[in-house]
Amino acid sequence: MEFKELPPVKEQLMKCVRCGKCRSVCPVFSEIGNETVAPRGHVFMVQMLRDGIVAPEQKVYDHLTNCLMCETCSVNCPSGIDIHELNAAARSYIYEHNPNLAKDLIFDTMWTNPAYLKNVVRMIWGAQASGAQSLGRKLGLTKLLPGDMPKAEKILTDIPWRSARSQLPAVSPAIGKKKFTVGYFLGCATDLLNPEVAKATVAVLTRNGCEVVIPPGTKCCGLPQIANGKMSTAQRLAIDNIEAFQKYDFDYIITDCASCSSALAVKNMELLLGTTEYREQARAFSAKVMDLTYFLIHVLDIHPPANDKAPRVRVTYHDPCHLANAQGIKDEPRELLRRIPGVELVEMKDANRCCGGSGTFSLTHYDLSMQILDKKMENIGATGADLVATCCPSCMMQLRHGVSRQGLHARLVHPVQLLSQAYEDQD
Amino acid sequence: MDKLTIQKELLKMFGPDRLLSDELDLMYYSYDSSFLTKLESTSPYAVVFPKSTEDVQQILRFAWANHVNVIPRGAGTGETGGCVAVEGGIVLDLSQWNQIVDIDQKNMQVVVRPGVIHAELNNELAKYNLFFPPDPGSSLMCTIGGMVANNASGLRAVKYGTTEQYVLGLEVVVPNGDVMITGGMKSRAIKNVSGLNLTKLMVGSEGVLGVITKIRLRCFPKPRARGIALAVFDNLDDAPATVLDVYQAGILPSGIEILDGSAIKAVNEFKPHIQLPDAEAILLFEVDGNPPSVEFEGNVIREMAGKRARSVEWSTDPQRMAKLWEGRSVTAAAASRVRPDGSRIFAGEDISVPLSRVADVLRAIRELGRKYGIQVVNYGHIGDGNVHTAPVINPENPEEVEKVLQLVDEIHLLAIEMEGTTTGEHGVGAVRRRYAPLEHGLAHEYMLKTKQAFDPKGIMNPGKLI
């Protein structure tokens, strides 16, 4: 569809009154402080693009990517504008005029094919396990990496060898009486970087009466592509995923990754496929998609057994933007943590402020990302928490890096890992 | 001096980190919240980020010597084009210069640099049990410098007045680069009538006389209690009449706000949880002070409002009060919600009329809306006669734009005719300047002479205010 005709561009652009409220909530603006990075500035620039006042050039793209896509501005916009959607649409429009072979290779070829992605991750594992990553740093070879990668490669630590998919069966039967058949959308980052989270998810779901199916052919949720100007690739991935899950009659489609659930939720699917022939299929698919913590609280209403002997552990919770802002899910992860024996939940200041990770943002804007991260880590440090819980693998990676930068001792976990552990402790 | 040379010279002075000169970057400084800058945008020649009085002096000396326009800018939340370089020039983005220099608790005053955000100042002052009373709707993002330059006020002006009542002194860099201190070179006095009152002259001068670089503000002790009354009316005329009744009963609330039926609808669309009652109009009265006086005033308001209102709710519960007040504070931008394919615009949005004419004005604006076929949302600080009008149009439809500009012109003229003014608190900027001779007559000529005395070369924020 033509850029001008895209629903956010056609319907929402004119609604911006440039009141500037977005200046008061944007984490990037808070660091840089000039109008060129204010969310209303991005809206303005999208309008300039639409009206042909500026050409779809790379430098406009670079301006628009001074944005985490954290959606904080969108949820706070009094005019109700989905600023992040306008930004994403503009990035794709510009990218179409400025294609880049390396980017195509990464986002169209590698990231759309789980086998390729797995091999890339294994290469990184190999570099870490063999000491090549650390040797490369010492010899200065990592400086030869493109863009911000010479600095950002430090974020990629502790890569596991075995993916979740290679450790989990395609179908895990319910333990006891079956309540639901659940399709598990196993996102790339959980699969390849946090297999322990996936194992915990399957363990908790099966224990609570769910048959868990991981459909073959599941692909990336498309969020990295949207953020990187590849909306058409994200559309293709969405169709592939719908088709992969359509083959089953699932009661629910569950994911433990905030980014995946936001990408598969109604709003984003409407953006991708709302004006295509796949619209109805996309709606039917999205209607079943649910974040794991929401499912555990509102559908299964789980209550792990009391355990007086459970060790006391101080946990603070970080809200992933794609859960809190994109889906309004803030209470459920906290409620889940409160129900786990031994957990003492301590709120950090500004728990719902972005950690600066935002998928690939930390890799493309490393220094800025670290400025934002440092504020988050200060707030985490002040809680004295033993564990930092969050529901997004990108946040986990970023916060893990923050813990290491600040020399803290806190460990990163997904709430479901603590829950799974609580069940195991009872066995 | 041509634009490129200006950029090169500024680059030498400030380096690349404190200067924007790329054409694309400069475009982001072509707007504020005004409808005017949505219709016509002009980029500045350069944007500089001053962080000291010396920085500002350096820029002004350069601009003075070379006849280059200088336009001070805060957060760009104004609604008049006041911070936009409509005639070209260097924009000074002062929003990053945001230090609170001194909180003088004993003397109940605070000294700040221009970029301090209003809400952040009050957060800091609260630690000392103080507050800076003017309360603009843009509190979260507007700067104190911008408030002073526009003599801003807001929801609580009924009792606490406008910014000018709190400015005790200023540091101003005048157009030739000299630094002037107003309100006494060393003074920390609260009362001060020595000399011509240049502080009052500078407050609300919208950057046409110089650049405000330091501000000494008077603060008040934070009230200990607060209460809000919500009165619901089936007849619009009953709302202004009730306001007069409350005053007649000897009560001076801290704020009295009105939302008409369309504003109520807009708020409920934007924040359904607020659940404002469906009505022709609602009034929100806020009273503050000590607990017994708040309770007493609340009772009187209930009694007075009860004469005409369908219902009156009185609350001192912090959560309920926050919800009710939120209803008012989100109205400005939420107004767009009354029309799915439209947007509110900031034009003709700030007239102020005598209390006795508020009902007439609200009726007349409704009529004008009908005449032009434009939906109009009315809300505002009815306690001081300051009516905010939000026309909601499709801003990309040229016919609607043409009509709304005529509507706005009629609203401005209506305000003058009704013994009021075109602007109560947002300022004149570029959008209301043409009404200055009509509003002020001979006084306008003396304003021009005053400008000439400060800025004979006319470099400070040309095209604004007078």
CATH architecture observed for domain B339-434: 2-Layer Sandwich (3.30)
Spell out the domain ranges in chain B. 3-93, 100-221, 225-334, 339-434
Question: How far away is chain A from the Cα of B207, in angstroms, using its nearest Cα?
Answer: 20
pLDDT at position A120, please?
A: 75
Nearest chain A residue to B32 by CA: give it: A18
B326 in reach of chain A (CB within 8 A)? no
Residue of A10, A35, A40, A57 best to disrupt the B interface, most CBs of B under 10 A: A35
Q: Beta B90-93 vs B70-73: how paired, if at all?
A: parallel
Q: Does the fold of domain B339-434 match that of domain B100-221?
A: no
- Below-50 pLDDT ranges, chain A: none
Please state the pTM of the whole predicted model.
0.94
B139 in reach of chain A (CB within 8 A)? no
pLDDT at position B44, please?
A: 98
Chain-chain contact of A34 with B75 (C-beta, under 8 angstroms): no
Choose which CATH entry (3.20.20.70, 3.30.720.110, 3.40.50.620, 3.30.70.2190) describes domain B225-334: 3.30.70.2190
Chain-chain contact of B343 with A11 (C-beta, under 8 angstroms): no
Chain-chain contact of A54 with B27 (C-beta, under 8 angstroms): yes
Chain-chain contact of B20 with A36 (C-beta, under 8 angstroms): yes
Average pLDDT, chain A: 92
Q: Is the domain B100-221 a CATH 3.30.465.10 member? A: yes
Q: Which residues of A touch B14 (CB under 8 A)?
A: none
A24 in reach of chain B (CB within 8 A)? yes
CATH architecture observed for domain A313-426: 3-Layer(aba) Sandwich (3.40)
pLDDT at position A113, please?
A: 80
Strand partners, B257: B284
Portion 78-137 of B in contact with A at CB < 8 A? 93, 95-96, 117, 119
Q: Which residues of A touch B345 (CB under 8 A)?
A: 17
Residue-wise pLDDT tens digits, A125-169: 677 667 766 666 666 665 655 567 677 677 777 778 899 999 999
3-state secondary structure chain B: CCHHHHHHHHHHHHCHHHEECCHHHHHCCCCCCCCHHHHCCCCCCEEECCCCHHHHHHHHHHHHHHCCCEEEECCCCCCCCCCCCCCCCEEEECCCCCCEEEEECCCCEEEECCCCEHHHHHHHHHCCCEECCCCCCCCCCCEHHHHHHHCCCCCCHHHHCCHHHHEEEEEEECCCCCEEEECCCCCCCCCCCCCCCHHHHHCCCCCCCCEEEEEEEECEECCCEEEEEEEEECCCCHHHHHHHHHHHCCCCCCEEEEEEHHHHHHHHHHCHHHCCCCCCEEEEEEEEECHHHHHHHHHHHHHHHHCCCCEEEEECCHHHHHHHHHHHHCHHHHHHHHCCCCEECCCCCCEECCHHHHHHHHHHHHHHHHHHCCEEEEEEEHHHCEEEEEEEECCCCHHHHHHHHHHHHHHHHHHHHCCCECCCCCCCCCCCHHHHHHHHCHHHHHHHHHHHHHCCCCCECCCCCC
- Below-70 pLDDT ranges, chain B: none
Residue-wise pLDDT tens digits, A268-277: 999 999 999 9
Spell out the domain ranges in chain A. 3-97, 313-426
CATH class of B3-93: alpha beta
CATH architecture observed for domain A3-97: Orthogonal Bundle (1.10)
The complex's ipTM? 0.95
B14 in reach of chain A (CB within 8 A)? no
pLDDT at position A125, please?
A: 66
Phi–psi pair at A230, nearest 5 degrees: -120, 60
Residue of A15, A53, A65, A81 best to disrupt the B interface, most CBs of B under 10 A: A15
pLDDT at position A132, please?
A: 66
pLDDT at position A294, please?
A: 98
